[in-house]
A and B are shown apart, each in its own frame.
Chain A
Amino acid sequence: MPPVGAGLAAEAGTALRVMLVDDSPERAVMVEECLWAAGFEVVLVIPSAAGLLFQIEKSRPDVVLMELESPDRDVLESLAIVNHHNPTPVLMFTQEGDPDYIRQAVSAGISTYLMGGINPAQVRPVIDVAIAQFRVFQALRDELHSTRVQLEERKLIEQAKGLLMAHKNIGEDEAHRLLTKLAMDANQRLPVVAKTVLATLSHQGKRKD
């Protein structure tokens, strides 16, 4: 049987790098063995501690695995949110967890893994789900980002049209045609030309004063 961790990691040609956060050393040893057996590279094993964030920044894991009932869960989630951190998917595991809860959680899309009878074959699908879920969220971020850029660009174009209308005493349609022609002549995107027009015309406006 090939190492199961090779699934997503095969894309990059290397094993996925996992960081394990667990305050129980005995359990950590077991979980770590299981991860190696599943074909993952365990880059760091640490107990939950205040220095957690800094450790993550230093070792840059592909995925973080942590105990479900750890207060550090909010810290780890913030990694996927806050801008200046490297977004990192986080996966929870539990030893004593209520199996029903785990089942429901997994079906609700919450990545959780029941670490009862350790079976390396079960680790991979769960880590795959965590990473897939994480990518969906990243896609949402990108989507929001492109929406914002579009809005900003539209605003630029409107402003440039307004200035052209005032300066040349022309209507909106004509201002739009003029802007499009400028863009085509310069072989530039409309928002770029709009920016140039804004800079030039508002500068002229100031000189007149």
Chain B
Amino acid sequence: MIANKRLPPPEKAAITLGFMRLTDSAPLIIAKEHGHFARYGLDVTLVREVSWANLRDKLVVGDLDAAHLLSPLPMMASLGAGGVRASLLTGLSLSLNGNALALAGTLWRQLGLADGGYPDALAAARALKRYLGREPGRLVTLATVHAFSTHSVQLRMWLRAAGIDPDRDVRIIVLPPEQMCDSLAQGIIDGFCVGEPWSSLAVRQGIGVVVASGYDIWNNAPEKVLGVTEAWHHRHPATHLRLRLALMAACRELADPGLEAARILSAPAYLDLPVKVLLPSLTGEFTCASGQPPVALADFQVFHRYQAGFPWRSHARRLLAEGCAMLGKVLPEDLAAALVQRCYRPELYREAAGHLGIPCPGCDVKEDNRHDRPWLLEPGIELGADRILGERAD
């Protein structure tokens, strides 16, 4: 397939991409292993990083050309919240969903939730609310992997759905994903909201019970994006376009991922974890509690369908608002709009979609919390359900 003859030549062909040790780095790894980057004339080196802070800093400095980033990070880095201030942007979302909220087995038993069957996210949050009322002296500590992550956003949504104040009634801390299971087992934390495979690992070890998937809390939330600096994008528009096209091809291949993708991801240079731990989130055959049969969650993690690659500005606005709420702040409306305009670039997605001849949304924003099931935005453009737990439906 030499469809790329019409494409402008890349300004830079040898590039370095950073990723974190999570199953949703799959588009980068598959694009490399299955030759999608090469087909677009790019010679890509993948580098595994140990922290989002490092990933962001190396991107800012230019050690990395592009990176697998948490969806709120382009806005929060542009604000300079927590670390270096740098203008980051995305023209391609890499995945939707993929997180799970697990509670320690000990806490779960005290909540008196029904055993067996798929968990009811709202019932679990309400049970926690009652428990906090019964045990006023008990400080419940919950962990996420980064302050400005969908994990934090979903955890806070889940708590608020039951009237729990995420800033006052519980304590939310940040821990590296690798430390989650250990901290849960030691009783340092009472639960966590994290990307896969870490919840599956807690379930396999019998120390945690999944009470909600990220999807249950916010249907089809934007999870990771392809992040670059604004300056890099201006210097390398053609390389950036090729990068998006190669990753879109990988995401299409990941429409229905299975054993083969898990085998590739499990390699020592990538996730370095057993295939059986990686499979649940890829296939959606997810086990919520030790000893229970897996349930089929078709949309547990989405790489391709529902226009998963489209960077919705309405998503960016919500992520920004939640990030500012964590800082205890409200951004003036005009500032928030301008920031989102710079950081989330749907026109870059449309440029790539145009080259591939595939349909994509003509609008930059959509209203969430309107649809219980997949729906047609326009003929040929199917979007996923978009419910948000505990948020009033208009």
- 8 Å CB interface, A48-106 against B: 50-51, 53, 68-75, 77-78, 80-84, 98, 101, 104-105
Min CB distance B103 to A, Å, is: 17
Q: A50-B188, A81-B326 are in contact. Are A110 and B176 (CB under 8 A)?
A: no
Contacts of A53 in B (CB 8 A): 173-174
Min CB distance B384 to A, Å, is: 29
Min CB distance B100 to A, Å, is: 19
A136 and B54 alpha carbons, distance in the complex (Å): 20
Is there contact, CB below 8 Å, between A83 and B51?
A: no
Is there contact, CB below 8 Å, between A110 and B51?
A: no
A144 in the interface (beta carbon within 8 A): yes
Interface segment out of the listed B143-151, B295-303, B362-370: B143-151
Min CB distance A146 to B, Å, is: 10
B63 in the interface (beta carbon within 8 A): yes
Min CB distance A148 to B, Å, is: 4
B267 in the interface (beta carbon within 8 A): no
A142 and B57 alpha carbons, distance in the complex (Å): 24
Most chain A CB neighbours (cut-off 10 Å) among B146, B174, B179: B174
A149 nearest in chain B by CB position: B330
Interface segment out of the listed B83-91, B215-223, B242-250, B307-315: B83-91
Q: A78-B174, A145-B329 are in contact. Are A105 and B57 (CB under 8 A)?
A: yes
Is there contact, CB below 8 Å, between A104 and B61?
A: yes
Contacts of B174 in A (CB 8 A): 53, 74-75, 77-78, 82
Is there contact, CB below 8 Å, between A83 and B328?
A: yes
B331 in the interface (beta carbon within 8 A): yes
Q: A74-B145, A82-B174 are in contact. Are A69 and B54 (CB under 8 A)?
A: yes
Is there contact, CB below 8 Å, between B328 and A145?
A: yes
A98 and B171 alpha carbons, distance in the complex (Å): 37
B173 nearest in chain A by CB position: A53
B9 in the interface (beta carbon within 8 A): no
A108 in the interface (beta carbon within 8 A): yes
Min CB distance B331 to A, Å, is: 7
Is there contact, CB below 8 Å, between A108 and B188?
A: no
- Once A and B bind, how many residue pairs between them come within 8 Å at the CB atom? 112
Contacts of A71 in B (CB 8 A): 50-51, 176, 178-179
| Chain B interface, DSSP helix/strand/loop, else mixed | loop
Is there contact, CB below 8 Å, between B61 and A105?
A: yes
Is there contact, CB below 8 Å, between A137 and B80?
A: yes
B79 in the interface (beta carbon within 8 A): yes
Residue tally, chain A, CB below 8 Å to B: 35
A50 and B81 alpha carbons, distance in the complex (Å): 24
Contacts of B61 in A (CB 8 A): 101, 104-105, 108, 110
A53 and B83 alpha carbons, distance in the complex (Å): 18
Residue tally, chain B, CB below 8 Å to A: 44
Is there contact, CB below 8 Å, between B52 and A74?
A: yes
A136 and B57 alpha carbons, distance in the complex (Å): 18
B53 nearest in chain A by CB position: A73
Is there contact, CB below 8 Å, between A78 and B82?
A: yes
Contacts of B80 in A (CB 8 A): 136-137, 140
Is there contact, CB below 8 Å, between A110 and B84?
A: yes
B149 nearest in chain A by CB position: A74
Is there contact, CB below 8 Å, between B54 and A73?
A: yes
Chain A 26-52: CB-based contact to B (< 8 A → 1; otherwise 0): 000000000000000000000000110
B354 in the interface (beta carbon within 8 A): no
Is there contact, CB below 8 Å, between B329 and A141?
A: yes
Is there contact, CB below 8 Å, between A109 and B330?
A: no
Contacts of A144 in B (CB 8 A): 324, 327, 329-331
A147 in the interface (beta carbon within 8 A): yes
B43 in the interface (beta carbon within 8 A): no
Min CB distance A70 to B, Å, is: 7
A78 and B54 alpha carbons, distance in the complex (Å): 14
A12 in the interface (beta carbon within 8 A): no
CB<8 Å pairs between A and B, sample of 19: A73-B51, A80-B83, A81-B81, A81-B82, A81-B327, A83-B326, A84-B171, A98-B63, A101-B61, A109-B84, A110-B83, A136-B80, A141-B329, A144-B329, A145-B329, A147-B330, A147-B331, A147-B332, A148-B330
Task: List 18 additional A-B contacts (Cβ < 8 Å) besides A105-B61, A108-B86, A141-B329.
Answer: A51-B188, A73-B54, A74-B176, A75-B173, A77-B53, A78-B82, A81-B147, A104-B63, A108-B60, A108-B61, A108-B84, A110-B84, A133-B84, A140-B80, A144-B327, A145-B329, A147-B331, A148-B330
Q: Which 3 A-B pairs have the closest CB atoms?
A: A78-B174, A71-B176, A144-B329
